[in-house]
Chain A
Amino acid sequence: MDTSKPAASSSAAPRRSFKAQYLILYNFVSAVLWTTVFGRVVLLVPLVGFTHVYGGVGNFAKWTQTLALLEVVHALFGIVRSPITTTGMQVASRLLLVWGIVNNFTRQTAPSVAYSTMLFAWSFTEIVRYSYFVAALGSGGSGVPKILTWLRYNTFYVLYPLGILSEVTLVYKSLGPAKEWGYIYEIILKSVLLIYIPGSYILYSHMMAQRRKVLRGKQRQT
């Protein structure tokens, strides 16, 4: 979900526009919510084990992720500059996981290690991303702490494969129970698995391109 960019509302005007204020609030709230998800996951794993993580965080994570639907709305109405296709696809795939997979086939998917690793990868990425936006919007783009930029453009090397692998595992685990609902559900989930192949390639190369852009920009500054 690294494609959305902060709005270009960082003008010289001393008072922030309503749009900027709203975006800061949205990103701040999201950062706090994902920090809660992250905290719960890393505490629950040693306390109750992978199999019981869902009981302590499942509902909370589901609704936190559902809030990201607003990002599609932002892109749709041009509140942020991020492209609607990428944002839409990323939010849709996340919602498929929390609602379509884990909420429907809880018994077969939630106890899996993949569920915890997925939430770990998601929540860490989101904390960094939303904090980055809050810092960028709040400072007019110039005052983002270096550590946030570094985290944003380096952790994905590890966290994206971890997230994608976990997601694919969960979708794969629900093929069997989906078939009991009807053959069509299994077919749809199989199609989803196939779409992951080019999808993850595009997402990963997009992030590497972004990273190159940001690093090049930095070199120019020095």
Chain B
Amino acid sequence: MASKTITLSIRPRGKPIKKLPEETAVAPEDSTEQLYKKIAASAGTSVHRLRITKGIDGSVVGNAKNVTIAQVDLHDKSTIYVKDLGPQLGWRFVYIIEYLGPLLIHPLVYYLRPYIFSLPPFSVPSSKIGAPSDLQTLSCALITLHFLKREFETIFVHRFSLATMPARNIVKNSGHYWLFSGLFLALSIYRPTGPTDSPYSPLLTPLGIALFFIGELGNLWTHLTLRGLRPAGSTERGVPQTWPFKLVTCPNYMFEAYAWTGVLLLTRSLAAALFLVLGVGQMAVWAKKKESRYRKEFGANYQKKRFAMIPGLV
């Protein structure tokens, strides 16, 4: 039986889109992916820039291969709104740029200590800038290792659910990494006579190193588990069932928090403490969102977690 075509009328939302057609004819059993492709082609833009919402209730029509137009309740003469999200960048690319900042800044500040810290606002007399302390060397090595690991994961491990993000987000996101975890942390840690410019602590230092490696390895482990849930090239979701995921919703954040607690014990720097607190705060928000999303998406099949991120705490 030949499929009956239906006509959807199209309105722009927000900025007008040149060449956006006023209506489009589709079959009810077409996928929403095909709808996206069709509209993008006629508007002369990329599917990633577009967001389609339903005229009737403003809910988003996702770009999916296995969802049909009939399934999202679009019928003949239904109205859809199309929004131009602006220029987009691939997630992978944005992540690589974000982490590149701290990855370069930490070794740079470490090696250029004599020059950087003799300048204002530090103005430490050059005679007082000795060789870096062992703790500073160790901190630089571990922090560099941390961001190297992230770059490695971005390139080889992560599978992203969204292909792109708005291009101007790169400035905002990179700002956090380049300025905060990069410049601010580096200046605080490698500062002569700063808190990290001191001898080892027989207890705190090994504890810091151990926490750091437990955190990094655990984090890598959870990322590999998450990767295994999503077949290559797909954007499917699933709930991991292995051990750390039974403990909390987002053990990857838990391990990340452990690693930065390790850095704090190692560096004893106030900047690291601030970074840890803000980081844990942000991750806790994300983890709670994830927990409620799991509950909504998987319903009764989902074993509710008491804690989203750290057992007994968040």
Chain A residues close to B by CB (< 8 Å): 83-86, 89, 183-184, 187-188, 190-195, 198-199, 202, 205-206, 209
Contacts and interface: CB of A to CB of B under 8 A. Distances in A.
A85 B214 CA distance: 12
B243 to A, nearest CB: 7
A206 B220 CA distance: 17
Majority secondary structure, B binding face: helix
Interface residues of B, number: 16
B210 interface: yes
Interface of B: 134, 138, 200, 202, 205-207, 209-210, 213-214, 217, 220-221, 224, 243
Nearest to A191: B209
19 contacts: A83-B221, A83-B224, A85-B220, A86-B221, A89-B217, A187-B205, A187-B209, A190-B202, A190-B210, A191-B205, A191-B207, A191-B209, A191-B210, A191-B213, A193-B206, A194-B207, A195-B213, A198-B214, A199-B214
B224 A188 contact: no
Contacts of A89: 217
A153 to B, nearest CB: 18
A193 B209 CA distance: 11
A31 B16 CA distance: 71
Majority secondary structure, A binding face: helix
The 10 closest A-B pairs by CB, nearest first: A190-B206, A194-B210, A191-B209, A191-B206, A191-B210, A85-B221, A195-B210, A187-B205, A187-B206, A187-B200
B25 to A, nearest CB: 46
Contact of A205 (B134, B206, B209, B243): B243
| Residue of A194, A199, A205 contacting most chain B CB atoms (<10 Å) | A194
B134 A195 contact: no
A24 to B, nearest CB: 26
A68 B214 CA distance: 23
A209 B221 contact: no
A178 to B, nearest CB: 12
Contacts of B220: 85
A188 B207 CA distance: 10
Nearest to B205: A187
A193 B224 CA distance: 26
B210 A85 contact: no
